[in-house]
A and B are shown apart, each in its own frame.
Chain A
Amino acid sequence: MKPAAFDYYAPASVEEALDQLAELGYNGKVLAGGQSLIPAMNFRMARPAALVDLNNIKDLGYIKEPGEGGLAIGTMTRDSVVEHSKVVMDKAPLVVEAMPFIGHSQIRNRGTFGGAIAHADPAGQLPGIALAMRARLHILKKGSDRWESIDDFFLGPFMTVIEPDEMLAEVVLPPLPEKTGTSYKQVSRQHGSTTQAAIASVVSLDDKGKVASLRVVMMSVGATPLVSSAAEEMLVGQEPSEAAFREIATKASETEIDPSTDMHATAEYRRHATHELIIQSLTCALERAKGKGG
C-alpha cells in the first residue's frame, strides 16, 4: 500500500509550524503520532495535500504540574510516557487506567496524547477521558491563541473546533476534588481492538458521603463521546446507591445514546454493554471515592 503523494514539512519550532499551517490553510494537516492518520493514508481514505509533522518539535512533549493544580500535558507527549508516568497516576489515575486499551504497546510508543484527542474518534479512549476529566485545551494559530473547554470541542466524528490553520498545543486536566474516585470500563472483541462500548466515570463525594459532583462519559455510542446528563441530574446531592446506578444506566442507555451497527458490534449490543458498564464503572468509582476517606 502507498499513501498518495503529499508535501512534507518538518518544522523545528511551534512558530515555524504555525507559519506553515497558516500558509497551507485547508491543504495542510498536522501529523502527530500518525497512528490513526497514517493507516487512513495507507488506505487512501485520507489524502492530505501537505503534512506538517510536529515530531521534531521537542518542546511539545511534557507533563507538568501547573501552580493551580492538575496536569498540563504537551500535545506530543507519547501515550506510553503518559501510561508510565507516576505523576499522572497520582493526579489523573483515570488516564492511566484507560491507556492499556489504546491499541498495543507499539502504537502507544508512537501515538500522542494530544493527537488522539484532536483526532476525535468517537470510539477513541482519550477523547472520552478528556471529556470525563473536564479538560481545557490550548489551541494555537499564527499570531494568536485560545482556550477551549472540552465540552465545546467535539463537533462530530473526527471533527473538532480546531481550524485548518490551528493546532492543539496543550491539554490541561484540572485537579480532581478530594474524595474523588474514577473508573474506566471498556468492552472490545479482543484486547487492543476497536471499542464496542466504554464508560469513564468521575465521582466526587461531600463530607456526608453524598455525591458532590459526577460525570459519566459514554464512548463509541454516538458521533462524539457523550456526557450523561441523566447521571448528573439523578445523582448530584443524593446518596449514591446501586438502585440509583441502575436507574441511571437504564435512562442513559435508552435515551442518551445513538449507537450504530458496524463490523465491531450491533447497535443493540452497544446499548446493552453501555447499560452494564455504567453500573460497573459507577460502582467502582464510588468504591474508590470512599477509599479516599469519603
Chain B
Amino acid sequence: MNTPINIKVKVNGKEYKRAVEPRLLLSDFLRHDLELTGTHVGCEHGMCGACTVIMDGVSVRSCLIFAVQADGHEIETADGLGTEDALHPLQQAFMEEHALQCGFCTPGFLMTIIPFLRENPNPTDEEIRTAIDGNLCRCTGYENIVKAVKKASVKMAGKAK
C-alpha cells in the first residue's frame, strides 16, 4: 500500500523522476518533493482554487489529483512564470493593478487565467468573471483582478501568447 511508484513528470519544462506513495497529492508532491512552493494549498478539497496548476494545457486542482496520476504528463506552475526581475506580463499586471494583497490565492488565479487567455485572448469583463469563479480571494474583492486580467490580455495579445 505504501510502496512507492516510480513516476516521470515534466514540470515547467523540466523532467523529474521520483518515487511516490499512491496517496500523495499532486499539490504536496510539487511543494514537498520538488520544493516548488509557488503552488499554494488552501482548502484541500477543491473549493478555494489556491492550488490550481496547468496539466496538459488546462487548469486543474492539484489537491484533487494524485501525483501518480501525473506520470507522463506535463504540469505548469506559478514557479515557471517569471522571475523577480522579469515578471510574466500577467504577474506584472497583477502588481500594477493591485490585484493582490496577501498573495495567498494569487498563484491559483495566475494558473487559471493563463490557459483562459490562451483560449480567449480578448475577453470581456463578464468572461473574465466567469473564468475566475473557481478561485477565492479574501483581500481584493476581485475588481482589481478583473482589471489586471484585462490589462494583461491587451499586453499579451500584442506579443502573440
Chain A residues packing against B (C-beta within 8 Å)? 1-8, 10, 34-35, 38-39, 41-43, 51, 53, 55, 80, 100, 103-107, 109-110, 191-192
Give the shortest distance, in Å, between B146 (CB) and chain A (any CB). 15
Once bound together, how far apart are the Cα atoms of A42 and B51, in whole Å? 14
A106 touches B59 (CB 8 A): yes
Among B21, B58, B130, the residue within 8 A (CB) of A5 is: B21
CB neighbours (8 Å) of B63 from chain A are: 38, 42
Among B1, B25, B60, the residue within 8 A (CB) of A106 is: B60
B83 part of interface (Cβ distance < 8 Å): no
Chain B residues packing against A (C-beta within 8 Å)? 1-2, 5, 21-23, 25, 28, 44-46, 49, 52, 58-61, 63-66, 68-69, 71, 112, 116, 130-131, 133-135
A104 touches B134 (CB 8 A): yes
B59 touches A109 (CB 8 A): yes
A103 touches B46 (CB 8 A): yes
B59 touches A5 (CB 8 A): no
Across the two chains, which residue of chain B brings its CB closest to A7?
B1
Once bound together, how far apart are the Cα atoms of A4 and B1, in whole Å? 10
CB neighbours (8 Å) of A10 from chain B are: 68-69, 71
B60 touches A8 (CB 8 A): no
B46 touches A8 (CB 8 A): no
Once bound together, how far apart are the Cα atoms of A35 and B47, in whole Å? 11
Give the shortest distance, in Å, between A41 (CB) and chain B (any CB). 8
Known: A4-B23, A8-B5. A38 touches B59 (CB 8 A): no
CB neighbours (8 Å) of A5 from chain B are: 1-2, 21-23
A42 touches B133 (CB 8 A): no
CB neighbours (8 Å) of A192 from chain B are: 133-134
Between-chain CB contacts (< 8 Å), 14 pairs: A2-B28, A4-B23, A6-B23, A8-B68, A38-B25, A38-B46, A38-B66, A41-B23, A53-B69, A104-B49, A105-B131, A107-B46, A109-B59, A192-B134
CB neighbours (8 Å) of A1 from chain B are: 44-45
CB neighbours (8 Å) of A103 from chain B are: 46, 134
CB neighbours (8 Å) of B60 from chain A are: 106, 109-110
Known: A80-B58, A106-B59, A191-B133. A6 touches B1 (CB 8 A): yes
Among B22, B49, B65, B135, the residue within 8 A (CB) of A51 is: B22
Q: Which 4 residue pairs are nearest across A and B when measured between Cβ atoms?
A: A104-B134, A8-B22, A39-B45, A5-B1
CB neighbours (8 Å) of B116 from chain A are: 105
Once bound together, how far apart are the Cα atoms of A38 and B25, in whole Å? 9
